[in-house]
Chains A and B, each alone.
Chain A
Amino acid sequence: MIFNKLARYGLILLIIIISAVELPFFYHKIVHKPAIGPRFYFSPITKNFMIMKHDKGGMGFYDDHWKSLTRREFEKYLPFQFYRDLSKWGELPDSIDGFAIDASVIHHNSDYYRIMGKDFDFPTIDLYPLFESQSDFAQLQFPGEFFRIKDKIDFITASSNEINQEMSEKFNAALIEAGFTFPAKLIAGLPTTKKPFDEGYFILDSQNDVFHMKKVKGEPSIVKTNIPRDLNIVKIVIQESVQQKIYGFIITANHDLFMISYDHYRLLPVKLEDYNAQKMDLSIAVDPFYVNFSYDDNTRFFSTICDSNYIKINQTSMSLQPLEEKLSEKVKYALFPFSIATYNSFSSMKKFDLKFHSSLSIIGIILSLIIGFMVKIKRREDLKSNWFDFVIISFTGIYGLLGIILIKTDLWK
């Protein structure tokens, strides 16, 4: 008898788990209105922030004093971002602060990088193509091999799926000669041919030294950088840029951001207030005058502006109404005592995160208990022998009620 009863409770538990995943999700899809955050720009004309933001009537354009502008007025203040429109209107200035500009100059002095929170737990396949950095051809070409670094470096020829011994030994010897200690903790590069040139890979060895590895005319080029060992690096993002000022970015376990400069790998720290690398998305927009570091966690939006020498000159932030304060969310908390999220916007991995809602849940639990009681009376069920059903509802609210209504009790003896 006990196993039969347990089987019923097992089925109810399953309904509770699946309801806790699906019902809040459906509620969110039906009721929730997505709040789109602001975008901050920095005007080389006004030397201040310009804000683009979704309003009830559509997209709104503002200056730093929240004076509403037309889209055309707004774009005129931002020639580096909207130079194509300004060129079309014949309103692109010839120079700003004595710096002669045209569409080509702006294009070649602009860049864009993104470091997403979900990049930190992306399931990677640790095989990397090592491009020829000084190719005779203008277009980069994929090499025939992919490398892996474990207790040594191996180059695997894709066409035969076999290790290229000669190349492996050559790079292995070069790495050891440069002082590399196997295995690698982190390998960072940009494995695409859609980039202007190749800067190879930055590799963190087991002693926390950072090495720069390239293939130059088929030969290994390994440089042990002077990047400090004690940084506690969690991520390196490399992106080749025509400006050749920085190789990319380093993020530490303390959420500090550094840029790796072309000047002997000197690190340029960027102070980003309240930045949490794993729980925020960061975009870095470079224009001829400024670098705009914009980051957000979907509720709080920040922008830090540096000049072209990466010296911080301004910052701003704005918060949207927290989700918990919205009426729709309060109703959700009253209806559902907890929820199970199977995804997270700042993670690439599937989740199974149990989140308990606020004390408002007591409303839903009391209502569920009353409904459960009435249903049992109507069904003429023996309340004494089914007391545990009420315990289930007390802890799980509407989910438990659903399970108990759907999966009827039975004559157990």
Chain B
Amino acid sequence: MLLLASPESIEEENMYRSLFQKEWIKLRWAFLAFLVIGYAALFSIASDLHYGIKMHGAVKYWSNVITYHSNYFSLLKSLPVLGGIAIALLQFVPESINRRYRLFFHLPINEQKILLFMLWVGTGITLVIDGLILIGLYAIATLFFPAEIVTISLLTTLPWFLAGIITYLGVSTLAIEPSWVQKIAIGVTTYFTFDLLLSERNFAQYNDVLVYYLLITLILGIIILYPGHRLRKGSK
């Protein structure tokens, strides 16, 4: 039996496609910029590794990484958080200027659905950047180190990338929140949340607790509905 899509669902699908294009136009330069910055950092890591191994010898370099957990990829640490802030601001500040967000109320799709869709687009773009940087780090680490060091290096970066997603979700929420008091509350909470993920002293120190931070990230994934609702109601 042939299933035909209803005109409403086709319209909704077209609407989401248009929304995606709109978000992509807003974020494409940020996407490219962070990819370029990320790969510049990876290039710097690779050249430091090459130079360090040439100067001190591979044995000494390996030994420092294995025994002292010398972090050869620490240049990547703050990138996801900075990327999260930039993408959230670029995506949501234009919507909050002059309460432009209220235009969504006139679209055929519920504005809360639109808000969540925008958030998923932003999260998706952030994840793609993170994934591409991780692939780059994997390629570099594999060139210089055996599997044990490669694995623990990638595990060590996971909390940093999770901190980036947390920052993106938190800053997106505070960007559209109309009240300054609540903006500050959301900002401070976001800061302390991502900061908790950036205080490692050894490799892979967060392995046992990443699941808790993943749950926190899921909570952050829906809180944007609260300022969205307040905007509709005109709350201050």
Chain A positions near chain B (C-beta within 8 angstroms): 3-4, 6-8, 10-11, 13-15, 17-18, 21-22, 122-123, 125-127, 129, 142-144, 146, 148, 156, 158-159, 161, 191-192, 342, 348-352, 406-408, 410-412
Residues of A within 8 A of B59 (CB): 129, 142-144, 158-159
Residues of A within 8 A of B208 (CB): 349-351
Residues of A within 8 A of B145 (CB): 161
Structural contact, A7 and B229, CB atoms closer than 8 A: yes
Residues of A within 8 A of B226 (CB): 4, 7-8, 10-11, 407, 410
- B233, CB-defined interface residue at 8 Å: yes
Closest to B185 in A: A406
Closest to A8 in B: B226
Chain B positions near chain A (C-beta within 8 angstroms): 57-63, 65-67, 69, 112, 143-146, 148-149, 152, 173, 179, 181-182, 185-186, 189, 192-193, 196, 199-200, 202-209, 212, 216, 219-220, 222-226, 228-230, 233, 235
Closest to B62 in A: A158
Q: A125-B149, A158-B58 are in contact. List 9 more A-B contacts (CB 8 A).
A: A8-B226, A11-B186, A11-B226, A125-B152, A191-B66, A349-B207, A349-B209, A410-B230, A411-B233
Min Cβ gap A117→B in Å is: 15
Contact of A156 among B146, B199, B204, B224 (CB under 8 A): B146
Residues of B within 8 A of A22 (CB): 192
Known: A3-B225, A7-B223, A11-B186. A349 touches B205 (CB 8 A): yes
Closest to A154 in B: B146
Known: A18-B192, A127-B66, A349-B207. A408 touches B182 (CB 8 A): yes
Contact of A10 among B212, B222, B235 (CB under 8 A): B222
Structural contact, B62 and A11, CB atoms closer than 8 A: no
Contact of B193 among A6, A7, A18, A125 (CB under 8 A): A18
Structural contact, A126 and B222, CB atoms closer than 8 A: no
Expressed in whole angstroms, the Cα–Cα distance for A143 and B59 within the complex equals 8
Expressed in whole angstroms, the Cα–Cα distance for A411 and B236 within the complex equals 12
Structural contact, A159 and B66, CB atoms closer than 8 A: no
Expressed in whole angstroms, the Cα–Cα distance for A18 and B223 within the complex equals 15
Min Cβ gap B175→A in Å is: 15
Expressed in whole angstroms, the Cα–Cα distance for A4 and B196 within the complex equals 27
Expressed in whole angstroms, the Cα–Cα distance for A126 and B146 within the complex equals 11
Contact of A123 among B67, B196, B203 (CB under 8 A): B203
Expressed in whole angstroms, the Cα–Cα distance for A10 and B218 within the complex equals 9
Structural contact, A4 and B225, CB atoms closer than 8 A: yes
Expressed in whole angstroms, the Cα–Cα distance for A10 and B223 within the complex equals 6
Residues of A within 8 A of B186 (CB): 11
For the complex, would chain B's binding face be called helix, strand, loop or mixed by DSSP majority?
A: helix
Contact of B219 among A13, A125, A350 (CB under 8 A): A13
Residues of B within 8 A of A156 (CB): 146
Structural contact, A127 and B229, CB atoms closer than 8 A: no
Expressed in whole angstroms, the Cα–Cα distance for A218 and B67 within the complex equals 23
Min Cβ gap A237→B in Å is: 15
Contact of B202 among A17, A122, A127, A148 (CB under 8 A): A122
Structural contact, A127 and B62, CB atoms closer than 8 A: yes
Structural contact, A159 and B182, CB atoms closer than 8 A: no
Expressed in whole angstroms, the Cα–Cα distance for A22 and B188 within the complex equals 11
Residues of A within 8 A of B152 (CB): 123, 125
Expressed in whole angstroms, the Cα–Cα distance for A159 and B62 within the complex equals 10
Residues of A within 8 A of B185 (CB): 15, 406-407
Min Cβ gap A56→B in Å is: 33
Closest to B221 in A: A10
Min Cβ gap B102→A in Å is: 16
Structural contact, B209 and A351, CB atoms closer than 8 A: yes
Structural contact, B63 and A142, CB atoms closer than 8 A: yes
Expressed in whole angstroms, the Cα–Cα distance for A56 and B212 within the complex equals 42
Residues of A within 8 A of B207 (CB): 123, 349
Residues of A within 8 A of B196 (CB): 21, 342
Contact of A4 among B202, B203, B204, B229 (CB under 8 A): B229
Residues of A within 8 A of B209 (CB): 342, 349-352
Expressed in whole angstroms, the Cα–Cα distance for A156 and B150 within the complex equals 14
Expressed in whole angstroms, the Cα–Cα distance for A15 and B182 within the complex equals 12
Structural contact, B225 and A123, CB atoms closer than 8 A: no
Closest to A141 in B: B59
Contact of A11 among B60, B179, B205, B223 (CB under 8 A): B223
Closest to A412 in B: B229
Closest to A1 in B: B229
Contact of A410 among B204, B206, B220, B235 (CB under 8 A): B235
Structural contact, A348 and B146, CB atoms closer than 8 A: no
Expressed in whole angstroms, the Cα–Cα distance for A159 and B63 within the complex equals 12
Structural contact, B192 and A352, CB atoms closer than 8 A: no
Expressed in whole angstroms, the Cα–Cα distance for A410 and B220 within the complex equals 19
Expressed in whole angstroms, the Cα–Cα distance for A14 and B190 within the complex equals 9
Min Cβ gap A361→B in Å is: 22
Enumerate the 8 nearest inter-chain pairs by beta-carbon distance, A residue then B residue, closest first. Answer: A7-B225, A158-B58, A4-B229, A7-B226, A406-B185, A123-B204, A352-B212, A352-B209
Q: Which of A159, A342, A350 has the most CB of B within 10 A?
A: A350
Expressed in whole angstroms, the Cα–Cα distance for A373 and B49 within the complex equals 60
Min Cβ gap B168→A in Å is: 15
Known: A192-B67, A351-B208, A408-B182. A7 touches B222 (CB 8 A): yes
Expressed in whole angstroms, the Cα–Cα distance for A350 and B211 within the complex equals 12
Structural contact, A123 and B112, CB atoms closer than 8 A: no
